[in-house]
């Protein structure tokens, strides 16, 4: 009987411990859960969204890991261009890159994300 009671108590503690909530109001932790990072200018970048946009629009030329391929290496593109300059390149093209590879809000999300690559 004591073993059964001890097993039930231990099982209950495990279940309640695993289901415990996190009421932390730390905004940076909450934004990290959403795939967001803070920019140097104080804004936030939707990292998960930008990665999805990159994968569907850019990875075929610039590589899945930004290391290049048919297009140039983007691993440190933020060292050479600001987010505004990157958005302009996405919108208008440059060299062999065609214009309009991303459209609408996707351009700014992608540009902000790439500008962090330094």
Distance CA 82, CA 78 (A): 6
Check if the beta carbon of residue 113 is closer than 8 Å to that of residue 51.
yes
19 annotated to bind ligand = no
What values do phi and psi take at 45, rounded to 5?
A: -120, 130
* Tokens 């505004």 found at: 84
Which 3 state secondary structure label does DSSP give 46?
strand
97 annotated to bind ligand = yes
Distance CA 74, CA 60 (A): 13
Check if the beta carbon of residue 112 is closer than 8 Å to that of residue 50.
yes
Instruction: With both helix axes pointing from N to C terminus, report the angle between 105-115 and 83-92 in degrees, rounded to the nearest 10.
Output: 130
58 annotated to bind ligand = yes
Binding-site positions: 58, 61-62, 97
**Residues in binding site for heme c:** 58, 61-62, 97
């Amino acid at each position: 009987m004591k073993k059964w009671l001890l097993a039930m108590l231990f099982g209950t503690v495990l279940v309640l411990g695993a289901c415990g909530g996190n009421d932390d109001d730390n905004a940076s932790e909450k934004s990290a859960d959403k795939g967001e990072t803070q920019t140097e200018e104080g804004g936030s970048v939707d990292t998960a969204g930008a990665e999805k946009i990159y994968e569907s629009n850019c990875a075929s030329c610039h590589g899945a890991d930004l290391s290049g391929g048919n297009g140039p290496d983007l691993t440190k593109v933020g060292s050479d261009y600001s987010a505004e300059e990157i958005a302009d390149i996405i919108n208008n093209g440059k060299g062999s890159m065609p214009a309009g590879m991303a459209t609408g809000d996707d351009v700014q999300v992608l540009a902000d994300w790439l500008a962090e690559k330094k």
